[in-house]
Amino acid sequence: MTVAFYPGSFDPITNGHIDVLVQALNVAPKVIVAIGIHPGKTPIFSFEERAGLIRQSIAEALPERAGDVSVVSFSNLVVDAARAHKAHLLIRGLRDGTDLDYEMQMAGMNRQMAPDVQTIFLPAGVASRPITATLVRQIAAMGGDVGAFVPAPVFKALQARQKG
């Protein structure tokens, strides 16, 4: 069975991430959402919270495919993490030319290190192109409404953070 590996920080998962994940499930029967853990970064949500929000968001967006998506963490090279999970497809979403330039460099390096892991670029839909997790965090921190940019479980979690 073909397994796709979709890495990112997902802090938080956005509607753009969901868009790419839906597309990934059209390419592979099983997708592993891989949350990168970096000791030098302090996320707003812990790994456990992010994993829970991803699972809830998938259950709401794609209830019939929720069982085809798993969530793991990794702190090593993406290609090594993908191999460890028996994934041979690496999913990367593209919003614009800036993303393409960066992702092409990464894909080239990953191919040199792991020729058996193929990178697949999936374009963001028009509605999700401007969405980034960084902008969502910034808008939410300033009290802005991010409801149009994130799944409902994430919106509720961000609102709870603002109140708490």
Question: CATH number, domain at 50?
Answer: 3.40.50.620
Q: How far apart are CA 133 and CA 41, in angstroms?
A: 14
CB neighbours of 118 closer than 8 A, spacing ≥ 6?
Answer: 88, 89, 90
Which is nearest to 128 in space by CA: 160, 93, 152? 93
Whole-number percent of the chain with pLDDT over 90: 89
Residue 39 pLDDT level (bands cut at 50, 70, 90): confident
- Segments in 8-146 forming alpha helices (H): 15-27, 47-61, 78-84, 97-113, 133-141
Task: Count the Cβ atoms, other than its own, within 10 Å of residue 81.
Answer: 21
Q: Does residue 109 sit within a domain? A: yes
- Residue 71 belongs to some domain of the structure: yes
Is 72 domain-assigned? yes
| Of 46-55, 130-139, 154-163, highest mean pLDDT | 46-55
Q: Is residue 155 part of a domain?
A: no
Taking residue 93's Cβ as centre, other Cβ atoms within 10 Å add up to 22
In a domain, 163, yes or no: no
Q: What's the average model confidence in pLDDT over 120-141?
A: 93
3-state secondary structure of 8: strand
Q: What is the pLDDT of residue 17?
A: 96
Mean pLDDT of the chain: 95
CA distance 163 to 104: 40
Q: What is the pLDDT of residue 164?
A: 64
| Nearest-angstrom CA–CA distance, 11 and 119 | 22
Mean pLDDT value of segment 1-12: 95
* Mean pLDDT, residues 19-31 taken together: 97
Instruction: Note the pTM of the prediction, 2 decimals.
Output: 0.95
Assigned domain for 143 exists: yes
Structural domain that includes position 43: 3-150
How many Å apart are CA 119 and CA 5, to the nearest integer?
9
Asked if pLDDT for residue 26 goes beyond 80, the answer is yes
Residues in the chain: 164
Q: What is the pLDDT of residue 161?
A: 86
Task: Tell me if 139 is assigned to some domain.
Answer: yes
1 has pLDDT over 90: no
Query: Per the domain annotation, does 161 fall within a domain?
Result: no
The owner of tokens 């029967």 is: 29
- Split into its structural domains, the chain has a count of 1
